[in-house]
Chain A
Amino acid sequence: MNIQMLLVLFALVLFSTMLLNTYNIVFNQSSMVYDNLLFLQGQKIADRYFQKIESELLGDPPVHYFSKIETDYSNIDTTMTVNNVIFNINLDSNYCDSLGASLVFPNLNDTLYQKLDIRINCLSTSLDTLYIGTLNSPFSKVFINRGF
């Protein structure tokens, strides 16, 4: 009797472990999907900044001159709240060559191109930090001085 009961309890414990694992996998999948939605929103935020800067460089006179990109977006941190999620945004613009490579010995004449890097993070559904564009792989765009 006692052994039987122990075996039943043991079976229940084993079964519960399997069930917990399965639940865990399903929840992981679910949080991956929800994190992807945050990732998608983050991409749209990055696109907003790229569009904004591109537009402000247009016109004669433009809203902002080319040099103002580096002044305004020199490693600055800002936040944006979308759908009650706080996105922490880092923007960093530097003069570069036509391929976006950093200038090793920049001089005053190297002001034709600038590369803007955008890194975003927010709190994921699993309460970890979700990185949307990292230090080594940011969202980047090279802007050219059109001379407006």
Chain B
Amino acid sequence: MPSLLDVLGATVVGSLVLLMIFTSLFNMQAISYNTQLQISLSKTSEDLITGRKIGNTDYLGLENILSKVGAGVPESDHPIIEATPNSFKFKGQSNLISSISTYYFVQEDQTDDGYPLYVYQNDMVNPISGPFWMSDPLEISYYDSNNNLIASPDANHDLIRSVEVSLTFFYNTHRPDIDKRLLRHRIVFWKYFKNLYL
């Protein structure tokens, strides 16, 4: 009888230790996986904001595209066409010899995958970039030359001199379906339109 108790005791203790090992391994894997996803998310967001080069092709980032606001546009023609919290349409020259393009930077309607962000150039049907899926709506704030927030930017295109853009990208964590959680990466960047200051 004492031997049987010993065996039972050892089984209980052994099971507890095994359970602890497996739970720990699972938790560590989950943390490592989420960390890896977070790195991947920040890389994706930086590629989108600052651009990247694949092979010999340069993919322009949002900062680069936004730097073209008003470039080469004559004074008689205002470069900003639309300015809302989730869309921004403007004119600008992509380089010194090109004609003036119309760029459109927009978050479209939410789907099951999230909020899609697209960038268009001239052709407003086929985007040059996107969709980039975001967990929250795009937030663009517009500021005047004194860095005051413009309450109604779409009615005050002439006042706009800079923007604050807030993007939130996401991935699903390792947890599927039940207790599904999102891993978010929110980044805010600013762009001053130098061509509008000149």
Contact = CB atoms under 8 A, between A and B. Distances in A.
Interface of A: 1, 8, 12, 15, 19, 22-23, 26-27, 29-30, 33-34, 36-37, 40-41, 44, 47-48, 51-52, 54-56, 58-59, 62-63, 82-83
A59 B194 CA distance: 9
Interface in B153-198: 161-162, 185-194, 197-198
A40 to B, nearest CB: 7
A74 B185 CA distance: 34
B35 A41 contact: no
A134 B72 CA distance: 39
Interface string B40-84: 001000100000000000000000000000000000000000000
Contacts, number: 73
A98 to B, nearest CB: 22
Contact of B194 (A23, A37, A54): A54
A51 B191 contact: yes
Nearest to A18: B24
Contacts of A83: 186, 188
A47 B188 contact: no
Nearest to B41: A37
Contacts of A22: 24, 28
Interface of A is mostly: helix
Contacts of A27: 31
B187 A59 contact: no
A52 B145 CA distance: 9
B126 interface: no
Contact of A19 (B24, B34, B42, B162): B24
Nearest to A59: B197
A3 to B, nearest CB: 13
Contact of A40 (B34, B42, B145): B42
B35 A56 contact: no
Contacts of B17: 12, 15
Given A26-B31, A58-B197, A59-B197, A52 B42 contact: no
Nearest to B30: A26
B21 to A, nearest CB: 8
A55 B162 contact: yes
A54 B192 contact: yes
B28 A23 contact: yes
